[in-house]
Amino acid sequence: MAETDFVNYATIAAALRDDGHALLPQFLDSDTVAALAAHCRALATAEALQPAATGRGTSLQRSGVRGDSTRWLDAEAPLPLEQAYWSALQPLRATLNRQLLLGLESVEAHYALYPPGTGYARHRDRFRDDDARVLSSVLYLNQGWDARDGGHLRLYLPGGDVDVVPQGGTLALFLSAEIEHEVLPATRERLSIAGWFRRRT
């Protein structure tokens, strides 16, 4: 998405303000998405992904709550193949700060791989002991995903549930503190980069 694409950014800001979420299909081009997916799979093969935990610090616990394995991206020293991802987030951050005064300062992000049959139970993304997360973003890395493959991101909204198909290149955005959500199990391996825009605390 280009920085000059002001109309889309305005639409995204309005959707976040009014609905608490926004969907950006084709946020990144398919070559970039394929490279990120291949890297995520290579990390899994190299056993460089960690089974995810829920909670933070001393409350860190493995549980049946989520089935993904993750690895943090290094925001300070991005890999060349990750550069497009970080670059695309910056104009988004700047526009949302300008239009919604969200005070987004930084982004933390991890690769996530959900084996077939696993998901993430209904939750919110803001921790009890860390309220810095303002906006959740999930970039899907799955090529040729069909709705019948499952793996939807289910957003629990006041007006009813919304199911997002984790199609490669789509970026889902939602407010971290407000929006309860869930990852439904899929019949296929499900890849993503989950990122959180943070404010200063």
Ligand X SMILES: O=C(O)CCC(=O)C(=O)O
Residues found near Fe ion in the complex (CB under 5 A): 125
Burial of 159 (0-12, 13-18, 19+ CB in 10 A): exposed
Using rule CB under 6 A, residue 71 touches ligand X = no
Asked if residue 69 binds ligand X (CB under 6 A), the reply is no
Residues 168-197 that bind ligand X (CB under 6 A): 181, 183, 192, 194
What tokens does 10 get? 């305005």
Q: Phi and psi dihedrals of 166, rounded to 5?
A: -80, 55
Q: Which is nearer to ligand X, 153 or 175 (CB)?
A: 153
Q: Which position has the token pair 């696993």?
A: 118
Binds ligand X by CB under 6 A, chosen from 82, 125, 168, 171: 125
Q: Which is nearer to ligand X, 104 or 138 (CB)?
A: 138
CA 135 to chain CA centroid, nearest Å? 9
Q: Which residues lie closer than 8 Å to 48 by C-beta, 6 or more apart? A: 71
- The reply to whether 137 sits near ligand X by the rule CB under 6 A is no
- Out of ligand X, Fe ion, none, what residue 138 binds, judged by CB under 5 to 8 A for its kind, is ligand X
* CB 196, min distance to ligand X, A: 8
Q: How far apart are CA 148 and CA 9, in angstroms?
A: 30
Own/partner long-range contacts of 42-46 (Cβ < 8 Å, ≥24 apart) = 43/71, 43/111, 44/69, 44/113
Please compute, for residue 131, the number of CA atoms within 13 A of its CA located in the half-sphere on the CB side: 4
Residue nearest to ligand X according to CB distances in the complex: 153
- What is the Cα–Cα distance from 43 to 49, expressed in whole angstroms? 6
C-beta of 194: minimal distance to Fe ion in Å? 7
Q: In whole angstroms, give the CA distance from residue 136 to residue 18.
A: 16
Judged by CB under 6 A, the chain residues 142 through 161 that form the site for ligand X are 153
Q: How far is CA 23 from the centre of its chain?
A: 11
Question: Measured from the CB of residue 100, what is the shortest distance to ligand X in angstroms?
Answer: 21
- The least distance separating ligand X from the CB of residue 153, rounded to whole angstroms, comes to 3
Q: Which CB atom, from 88 or from 153, has the smaller least distance to ligand X?
A: 153
Q: Please list every residue from 94 through 123 that binds ligand X, using CB under 6 A.
A: 112, 120
Residues that bind ligand X (CB under 6 A): 112, 120, 125, 138, 153, 181, 183, 192, 194
